[in-house]
Chain A
Amino acid sequence: MTEVTVTVDGVKYVDNVEPRLLLVHYLREVVGKTGTPIGCDTSNCGACTVLMNGESVKSCSVLAVQADGADITTIQGLANGDLHPIQQAFHELHALQCGYCTPGMIIAASDLLRENPHPSDEEIREGLEGNLCRCTGYENIVRAVRRAAETGVSS
C-alpha cells in the first residue's frame, strides 16, 4: 500500500492505496465521488474524464498513485454553487439524454474551451472525439459547447 495525498474538488484526502488502483476507482470507491462513471476499459469512451491539475485526463488511465499531490476536479466540483456555464448549456440545449457520458463530456468540453475559447463546430467535434455518447448523436452537444463558448465559460 502506498500513501497518496490527493485534493478532490477542493478537499484534501490522504489514503493508503494499492499501487495498481486506478484513479477512477479511487475517486468512486475510496473518496466516494460517484459522479464520475466508468464506460469502458480501454480508455476509448471518456466517461471518466476529470481535470487533473487543470487538464483533462481519463481517470481510468491514471493510477491513483500517479495523482499523488494532484488537484482533481470532477463533475461534482466543477461549479461554484450555481451551474457551470457548460452544465447550463447542456441543460438548455438538451445535450444529454441518459446522462452517462455527460460528466466526462462536460469536463472534456471545459478543457477544450480552456485551450480554444472560440472553437468552430468542426473543432468542437474533433476536440470531443475521445468522448463517446450513444444517445444524442452529438448534435446538441456541439450546440451546447458552442453556446457555452458564446456566453463565456470563464464568466
Chain B
Amino acid sequence: MTAQTDETQEAKAPEFGKARLRKEDERLITGQTNWTDNIQLPGMLHIAFLRSPFAHARITSVDVSAARNEPGVVAAYSGADFAAEQGSLPCAWPVTPDIVIPAHPPMATDEVRYVGEAVACVVARDRYAAADALAAIEVDYEELPPVLDIRTALDEDSPQVHEAGNKSFEWVFANGDMDAAIRDAPIVIERTYRQQRLIPAAMEPRAVVCSCVGGEFTLWSATQIPHVLRLMLALVTGIPEQNIRVIAPDVGGGFGSKLQVTAEEVLAVLMARKLGRPVKWTESRSEGNMTTHHGRDQWQRIRLAADSDGRIRGLDVDLLADMGAYLMLVTPGVPLLGAFMFPAIYKMDAYAFKCTGIFTTKMPTDAYRGAGRPEATFAIERIMDELAAHLGVDPLTVRERNWIKHEEFPFTTIAGLTYDSGNYEAATAKAKELFDYDGLRAEQEQRRASNDPVQLGIGISTFTEMCGLAPSRVLGSLAYGAGGWEQASIRMLPTGKVEVVTGSSAHGQGHETAWSQIVADQLGVAFEDIRVLHGDTQVSPKGMDTYGSRSLAVGGMALVSACDKVIEKAKVIAAGLLEASAGDLEWSPGRFAVRGDPDKGVTIAEIALATFAAHNLPDGVEPSIDADATYDPDNFSFPHGTHLCATEIDTETGFVKIRSYVCVDDIGTVVNPLIVEGQVHGGLAQGIAQALYEEAVYDDAGNLVTSTLADYLVPSASDLPSYVTDRTESRAANRLGVKGVGEAGTIASTPAVVNAIVDALRPLGIQDVTMPCTPERVWRAIQDARGTDQASAAELHAARQSDQTQGNSPQGSDMPDQTGGAA
C-alpha cells in the first residue's frame, strides 16, 4: 500500500485504527456505575435461596412454614409452590435428534442432582433477614449415590443421574478415510488429555431485580444476553413476550457465564408476580462458584497419524464431555464448537470426531471464554509437539510442514470450514523474532547440558479459531435454536448528533467506544457526537447479544449496513435541498456535494435538521433518514496467531515461572488497538490460569471443594507475567476486514504454557503434566520420572506402557474403552 493510499484511507476513515480512550471509563472509574445490585426500588424485597447440600438426593419433604414467621420475612417457598408455573430451564441447542434433555425445574421439586441446586427460598425485607430465615426451613432428603466421573458414568453398574440414563447424546463428524490413514501411516500417536473443569468467575456476581406492575415485567439482570433472556423468559413462564422488558445495566464481566437463562432469573419473575412487589437476588461468591455454570470438563482421546516426514495423514478425536446435571442454554453445543477446530491450521487427509455428552451430579457446564475451541486447540497443539518430539524436529518445523500456506487461502479444511484469510508464516516469523526463539533454544541446550536445576522450556501454539458467531443457516444445520444475525439502528437527531442502537450487549468490551468509531467514519460525524445505546430490550428491541467474539464481526457489520441505508435515504433529501439529481451527488464522509461543483453541498447534519423540519422534502419522501439493519454473516471469521512461551521450571520445587510470553495475533483489521490489546491481555491471563492455577474440584461425595476465591485460584497480578503482544493483519472477507479478538488469547495461551512445561521436562521422559500444572504436580512428575519414588515410578511406567507413541496399533489409554466407545 502506498503512502498516498494510506492518506486517502486516513481521510475516509480517520477513526478506524485509532487508540481512542474509552467512553465507558468515566462512570466506571468514579464509582457512578449502575450495577444490578445497586438498584433499589420502592418496597423492594430480597431473596435468599436454600440450596442442596447433597450431590444427589430425593427430596422427601420441605417445610418452609417456620421461616414465614421469622422477623422481616414476607414469604417463603418450596419447589412445590412454583411447580405449576416454573416450567423447565431451556436448552437451545439440541445437537442430535435423539438427545436426552431432562426436565430442569428452576427450583427442585422431588430430586436434587448437584450441590447447590435450589430447594427453597425466603423473601424478606433485607438480605440479612432473608439469609437468617433459611435456617428455619426443614428439608428431608434421602441420599442417592452421586455420579462424578464421566469415564465410568456409562458403565452398566453406574448410578443414574436421570431416569433416561447418563448419556445425553453422541455427535459424530467424519471426512476422509480415517481407517486408511491410521492403517497406512508409519506414525500414529495417541494421547489422552484432561480439560479440567473451570469456574468463569466474572468479578461481578450474578444479580437480578424484577418488578411486576400491571402485568408488565421489568427484569434487570447481570446478563450478557438481554434479548435471548427476554425470549426465553416468555417461553419458560408463558408471560407474553411483549410484557417483558429485560435490562442489562453495566455488567461486570461475563466470559460466557452470563450467557445463560438461570433458575434465579425465572424464579425472581415468578416471585415478583406472586408478591406484587419488586424483588432482588444477588449471589454471594461462594454461592456463585457452586451455581453459576462451569466450563470445559472433557476427557479428550486424540490419535494423530502421520508420515515419517511429519505430514499429517489423519486425526481421530474421541471426546467425553461432562454436561453436569442438566443441559442449560448451550451446554451440549460447546464441544461442537470445538469439533470443527481440532484440525486447526493443518492440512490432512482424514478427520473423525466423536463426542459423547454425559450427565454427572455436578453443576452444569456451558460456555466459558472460547467454549469448545480452547479445548480443541489445546489437544491439537499439544499433540503437534508430541509429533515433533517423536520425529526429533523443532515443533515449529512440524507445524510449518503441515499448515495452510498463505497463498492457499481461501482454504476449505477437512472439517468443512472455509478459512477466508490468514498468514501463519508472517505471524510466526514476527513472533520468533520478538521472542528471540533461537537464543532461547541455545540457552535451553546449555541448561540441559549443565544439568541446571532450573530448566528452560519453550512452548508453541500456532492457533486459529472460528468466531463471529455465526451464519444463521450454519447454526440451523447444527440444530441451534436461533439465528446468528445482529441488529443495528441509526437515529439521526435534529442537532446533527447520532444515536446508535445495537443488539450487541457489552459487559466490558468497550462497544460504546468502538461502535462510535465505526459510525463516525461511516457517516462522517464526530466521535464525540455519537451515543451508543444497548442492553435494554425497550431501547434496543432486537438483538442476539454478545458472546463468541461476535460483536464486531457481526454487530459491527450491522452498523455499517445501517449507515449505508442512512446515506441512501439522505441522498434523496440532499438532492432536493441542492436542487440536483441524486445521480449527480457524491458522498464523502459527512457531506454530499454536486459532482463537478464541490462547493455546492450539504452536510449530514444539515440533512438531519432539514429532515426533522420536513418543510421542503421531495414529494413522497418520508421525513426520516433513520435506518435499521440486520446483518447475517456469510461465514465465520478465523483469527489466528503464534504464541510463544518460555517457562523456567525449578526442578527441585516444581515451581513454574513464565519468563517471557510473546504473541502475534492476526485478528484482521483493528478498530481500536487499545481495546484489542486489552482483550488479548485478559484472554492470555485466563488461558494461563487454566494451565497453571484453576480447577473446580469436587470431592468424592460431590461437594465443590473450590467454592471460594481462597480455594479457586483466580490469579492475581503477582501470579502473572508481563506480555509482549504484536499483530499481523490479513483482512477478513467482510467489509470492515475484522475477525474478532475476545477469545483469542484464552484459546491460544493454554497449550503454549503446557507445551513449555513439557518441553522443559521432556529430557526426563515426561510427556504430559495434567492441568493445572501446580508445583506439586510438576514436582511429582519430576520425582516419578527420576524414579526416586519407586511406587509412583511403577505407576508412571504402567501409564506410559499404555501410551506408546510408536507403531500402528496404539494401546488404550486411561480413558476406558467402554466409556469412550459407548455407542
Report which A residues bind B (CB closer than 8 A).
18, 20-21, 25, 28-29, 33-42, 44-45, 47, 74-76, 79, 83, 87, 90-92, 94, 96-103, 106, 121, 124-126, 128-142
Q: Contacts A37-B37, A38-B37, A45-B203 given; indicate if A137 touches B682 (C-beta within 8 A).
A: yes
B720 CB to closest chain A CB, in angstroms?
6
Q: Smallest Cβ distance from A122 to chain B, in angstroms?
A: 8
B662 to chain A minimum Cβ distance, whole angstroms, is 13
Decide yes or no: A134 and B714 within 8 Å by CB, A37-B204, A94-B21 being known contacts.
yes
The interface residues of chain B lying within 8 Å CB-to-CB of A45 are 203, 285, 709
Distance in Å: Cβ of B561 to nearest Cβ of chain A: 27
How far apart are A72's CB and chain B's nearest CB, in angstroms? 13
B33 at the interface (CB under 8 A from A): yes
Q: Are A137 and B681 in contact (CB under 8 A)?
A: yes
Contact with A91, one of B29, B205, B719, B723 (Cβ below 8 angstroms): B29
Q: Which of B253, B509, B684 contacts A100 (CB 8 A)?
A: B253
Nearest-Cβ distance from residue A49 to partner chain B, whole angstroms: 12
A75 nearest CB neighbor, chain B only = B31
Q: How far is the CA of A130 from the CA of B715 in the complex (A)?
A: 10
B507: interface (CB < 8 Å) = yes
* Residue of B250, B252, B677 with highest tally of chain A CB at under 10 A: B252
Chain A neighbourhood of B745, CB < 8 A: 137
A125 to B708 Cα, complex, angstroms: 22
Closest to A101 in B: B203
Interface string of B744-770 (1 = CB under 8 A from A): 010000000000000000000000000
A18-B128, A103-B31, A132-B716 given; A42·B202 CB < 8 A: no
Could you tell me if B509 and A97 are in contact, using CB atoms closer than 8 angstroms? yes
Which of A35, A79, A136 is close to B681, meaning CB atoms less than 8 Å apart?
A: A136
Q: Measured between alpha carbons, how far is A21 from B128 in the docked complex, in Å?
A: 9
**Complex Cα–Cα for A82 and B720 (A):** 32
Let me know if A100 and B252 touch, CB within 8 A.
yes
Smallest Cβ distance from A8 to chain B, in angstroms? 12
Residue of A nearest to B253 (CB): A98
Q: Are B28 and A96 in contact (CB under 8 A)?
A: yes
Q: Which residues of A contact B27 (CB under 8 A)?
A: 99
A39 lies within 8 A of B682 (CB): no
Say yes or no: is B397 at the interface (Cβ < 8 Å to chain A).
no
Q: Say if the beta carbon of B810 comes within 8 Å of chain A.
A: no
Which residues from A are CB-within-8-Å of B722? 121, 139, 142
Residues of A within 8 A of B202 (CB): 98, 100, 134
Q: What are the 4 tightest A-B residue pairs by CB atom distance, in nearest-first order? A: A35-B31, A99-B28, A98-B508, A100-B252
A98 engages B203 (CB within 8 Å): yes
- B685 neighbours in A (Cβ, 8 Å): 134, 136-138
Alpha-carbon distance between A102 and B128 when the two chains are bound, in angstroms: 26
Instruction: A124 to B718: give the CA distance in the assembly, Å.
Output: 8
Q: Judging by beta carbons under 8 Å apart, are B204 and A34 in contact?
A: no
Shortest beta-carbon distance from A119 to chain B in Å: 12
C-alpha gap A41/B286 in the complex (Å): 7
Task: Kindly state the separation between the CA atoms of A98 and B311 in the bound complex, as whole angstroms.
Answer: 44
B70 to A: closest C-beta gap in Å: 15
Q: How far is the CA of A40 from the CA of B24 in the complex (A)?
A: 24
Most chain A Cβ neighbours within 10 Å, of B28, B202, B286, B686? B28
How far does the Cβ of A104 sit from chain B's closest Cβ, in whole Å?
9
B203 and A134 within 8 A (CB): yes
Report if B38 contacts A (CB, 8 A). Answer: yes
Query: Which of A92, A124, A134, A137 is packed against the most chain B CB atoms within 10 Å?
Result: A137
Whole-angstrom CA separation of A20 from B131 in the bound complex: 13
If A102-B28, A139-B723 touch, whether A44 touches B708 (CB-CB below 8 Å) is: yes
Judge whether B35 and A96 touch: CB under 8 Å. no
Is there an interface contact between A97 and B682, defined as CB atoms closer than 8 Å?
Answer: yes
Which of B33, B40, B674 contacts A99 (CB under 8 A)? Answer: B33
CB-CB under 8 A for A99 and B716, given A41-B285, A91-B22: no
Report if B442 contacts A (CB, 8 A): no
B682 near A40: Cβ-Cβ < 8 Å: no
Q: Which of A29, A36, A96, A97 contacts B31 (CB 8 A)?
A: A36
CB of B359 to closest CB in A, whole Å = 29
5 contacts between A and B (CB under 8 A): A37-B37, A40-B284, A130-B716, A135-B682, A137-B720
Given the known inter-chain contacts A87-B30, A131-B716, please indicate yes or no for A40 contacting B285, CB distance below 8 A: yes
Min CB–CB distance A4 → chain B (angstroms) = 16
8 extra A-B contacts, CB within 8 A, seeds A40-B709, A137-B682: A40-B708, A42-B710, A76-B32, A92-B21, A96-B28, A96-B29, A134-B203, A136-B681
**Is B510 located at the chain interface by the 8 A CB criterion?**
yes
Q: Are A136 and B718 in contact (CB under 8 A)?
A: no
Q: Are A140 and B681 in contact (CB under 8 A)?
A: yes
Are A34 and B31 CB-contacts (below 8 A) given A98-B204, A139-B681? yes
B674-719 with Cβ < 8 A to chain A: 674-675, 677-679, 681-686, 708-710, 714, 716-719
Q: Is the CB of A135 within 8 A of B508?
A: yes
Residue of A nearest to B510 (CB): A97
In the bound complex, do residue A134 and residue B31 qualify as a contact, i.e. CB atoms below 8 Å apart? no
Which residues of chain A are within 8 angstroms of B508 by Cβ–Cβ distance?
97-99, 135
Cβ of A42: which chain B residues have Cβ within 8 Å of it?
Answer: 285-286, 708-710
B188-218: which residues lie under 8 A (CB-CB) from chain A? 201-205
* Contact residues in B for A21 (Cβ distance below 8 Å): 128
Q: Are A99 and B30 in contact (CB under 8 A)?
A: no
Cα A47 to Cα B31 with chains together (Å) = 12
Give the complex CA separation of A90 and B286 in angstroms.
Answer: 29
What's the Cα separation between A28 and B682 when bound, in Å? 29
Separation of A97 and B27 alpha carbons in the complex (Å): 12
Which of chain A's residues have a CB closer than 8 A to the CB of B684? 137
Q: What A residues does B203 contact at CB under 8 A? A: 39, 45, 47, 98, 100-101, 132-135
Is residue B26 contacting chain A, with contact meaning CB distance below 8 A? yes
Q: Is A94 a contact partner of B30 (Cβ separation < 8 A)?
A: no
A57 CB to nearest chain B CB (Å):
17
B250 CB contact (under 8 Å) in A99, A101, A124, A131: A99
Q: Mark B292-335, 1 if CB is under 8 A from A, else 0.
A: 00000000000000000000000000000000000000000000
The answer to whether A79 touches B201 (Cβ under 8 A) is: no
Cα of A131 to Cα of B715 in the assembled complex, Å? 10
Considering only CB atoms, which chain A residue lies closest to B251 in the complex?
A98
In the complex, which residue of chain B has the Cβ closest to the Cβ of A20?
B128
CB of B682 within 8 A of CB of A125, answer: no
